[in-house]
């Protein structure tokens, strides 16, 4: 099962529309539950109830979102090997693995979306500890993912159980890059702009202007 949640950063709303009758809004990256709107009726699902809801979605909307499938041990081992170069402690891919080999999180989002892996959403210009990761989708506009003090690392791209208060990408500037001797016109940035999937970025995010 794959769910393409959209993060409206200016309004700080994380939501998904399944069809005309069914939609969801996650509260604090699902940590505080999920608001379900079904046939104009609203209910709030708890963190644990969301797990049960995914099974209901799989049974009733698999033609739209796919089926909820538990990965085999072989698939789990293959995933850990795949991401071992990214992290020393890859998590258990207990919510499924995408056809291209990325684990899904509790909200059924691909981990590559949350990590901005392989510059699929933006190209990293540089990162400054205790400040943030500076990124660009087009070689012109600059955005920053801030440093998270309580996790002592950088925020990922969307609110989640680890970063429930994640504000997402914030608008930055060439002037701020210059403060940290970062160059948007570096060879690395220019060579990797072709990896950015603009359609995917637009599908998953509304960026600040």
Task: Dump pLDDT digits (tens) for 120-167.
Answer: 999 999 999 999 999 999 999 999 999 999 999 999 999 999 999 999
Do residues 193 and 166 share a domain? yes
Look up tokens 């890859």; give the residue: 90
The answer to the question of residue 1 being in a domain is no
Do residues 51 and 83 share a domain? no
- In this prediction, residue 87 carries a pLDDT of 61
Do residues 132 and 191 share a domain? yes
Question: Residues 69-84: what's their mean pLDDT?
Answer: 81
Q: How many structural domains are present in the chain?
A: 3
Do residues 56 and 76 share a domain? no
The answer to the question of residue 76 being in a domain is yes
User: What b/e readout covers 24-47, taking b as 16+ CB neighbours within 10 angstroms?
Assistant: bbbbbbbbebbebbeeeeeeebee
How far is residue 205's CA from residue 199's CA, in Å, rounded to a whole number?
Answer: 10
Do residues 75 and 122 share a domain? no
Angle 94-95-100 (CA atoms, 0-180°, nearest 5)? 105
In the chain, % of residues over pLDDT 70: 96
Do residues 88 and 156 share a domain? no
Do residues 159 and 87 share a domain? no
Do residues 132 and 200 share a domain? yes
Do residues 128 and 197 share a domain? yes
Do residues 59 and 75 share a domain? no
Domain boundary among 50, 80, 107: 107
Do residues 155 and 196 share a domain? yes
Do residues 86 and 43 share a domain? no
- Domain assignment of residue 97, given as a range: 70-107
The answer to the question of residue 146 being in a domain is yes
Mean pLDDT (the chain, rounded): 94
């Amino acid at each position: 099962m794959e769910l393409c949640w959209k993060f409206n950063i200016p309004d700080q709303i994380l939501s998904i529309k399944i069809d005309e009758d069914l939609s969801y809004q996650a509260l604090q990256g699902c940590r505080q539950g999920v608001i379900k709107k079904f046939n104009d009726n609203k209910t709030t699902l708890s963190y644990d109830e969301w797990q049960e809801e995914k099974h209901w979605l799989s049974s009733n909307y698999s033609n739209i979102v796919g089926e909820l499938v538990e990965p085999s041990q072989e698939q789990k081992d293959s995933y850990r090997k795949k991401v071992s170069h990214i992290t020393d402690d890859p998590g258990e891919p207990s919510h499924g693995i995408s056809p291209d080999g990325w684990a899904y999180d509790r909200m059924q989002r691909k981990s590559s979306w949350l990590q901005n892996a392989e510059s699929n959403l933006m190209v990293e210009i540089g990162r400054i500890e205790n400040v943030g990761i500076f990124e660009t989708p087009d070689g012109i506009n600059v955005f920053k993912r801030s440093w998270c003090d309580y996790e002592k690392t950088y925020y990922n791209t969307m609110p989640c159980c680890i970063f429930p208060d994640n504000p997402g990408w914030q608008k930055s500037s060439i002037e701020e890059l210059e403060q940290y001797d970062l160059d948007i016109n570096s060879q690395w940035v220019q060579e990797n702009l072709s990896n950015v999937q603009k359609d995917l970025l637009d599908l998953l995010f509304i960026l600040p202007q």
